[in-house]
Amino acid sequence: MISRQAIFDVLRTIPDPEMPISIVDLGLIESVDVSGSAVSVVALPTFVGCPALEMISRDIESRLGRLPGVASVNVRWVHDPPWSVDRISGAGRAALREHGVTVPESGSRLEVHGAAGATVPLTVGAADVPCPFCGSKKTHLDSPFGPTRCRMIYYCDACRNSFEHLKKV
């Protein structure tokens, strides 16, 4: 029987279509189940209806399908538990920073409050986001929307570069 280790070794080589890290480092893989020659993968979307989901499913199916001993691959997307930036691995964070994309600190996920109405805290554009190029904290949110739905645009007032910061959701 095929080992879960072998499955994860393959998943670790599949890059996210919109981020320069693997889908495992991005925290998309919730669980892998092997039953005989059938493999089931449960995955979490970053953003609801992210346009890359189908492509990721196809990548997983075709790559795992090529493993000896695998007859079928099933990919299922679920919202429980919800994906959050906390799921990005240390290696993933380092690789993203290298590419000029910063990630909110672990544990900083937006809390979803009850029907709090006016008091729902809105802390999307965090202050003190360090510039990935020069390290300065003299940065500001330029736009909460960027090249993909999960990224925002920040600007560094010290080295005058713009960079991307993942939404804290």
Which residues contribute to the site for another protein (CB under 8 A)? 45, 47-51, 78-80, 82-83, 110, 112-118, 120, 122, 124-125, 142-146, 149, 153, 167, 169
Asked if 30 contacts 81 with a C-beta cutoff of 8 angstroms, the reply is: yes
Burial of 35 (0-12, 13-18, 19+ CB in 10 A): exposed
Q: Which is nearer to another protein, 81 or 90 (CB)?
A: 81
Give the helix/strand (H/E) hosting 166: strand 162-166
Q: Give min distance, CB of 66 to another protein, in A.
A: 25
Q: Give min distance, CB of 93 to another protein, in A.
A: 20
Give the helix/strand (H/E) hosting 40: strand 38-43
Asked if 9 contacts 55 with a C-beta cutoff of 8 angstroms, the reply is: no
Q: Which is nearer to another protein, 32 or 169 (CB)?
A: 169
Q: Give min distance, CB of 129 to another protein, in A.
A: 15
Q: Which is nearer to another protein, 135 or 144 (CB)?
A: 144
Q: Which is nearer to another protein, 78 or 158 (CB)?
A: 78
Place of tokens 């109405």: 117
Residue whose C-alpha is closest to residue 132's, from 104, 108, 99, 106: 99
Q: Give min distance, CB of 132 to another protein, in A.
A: 20
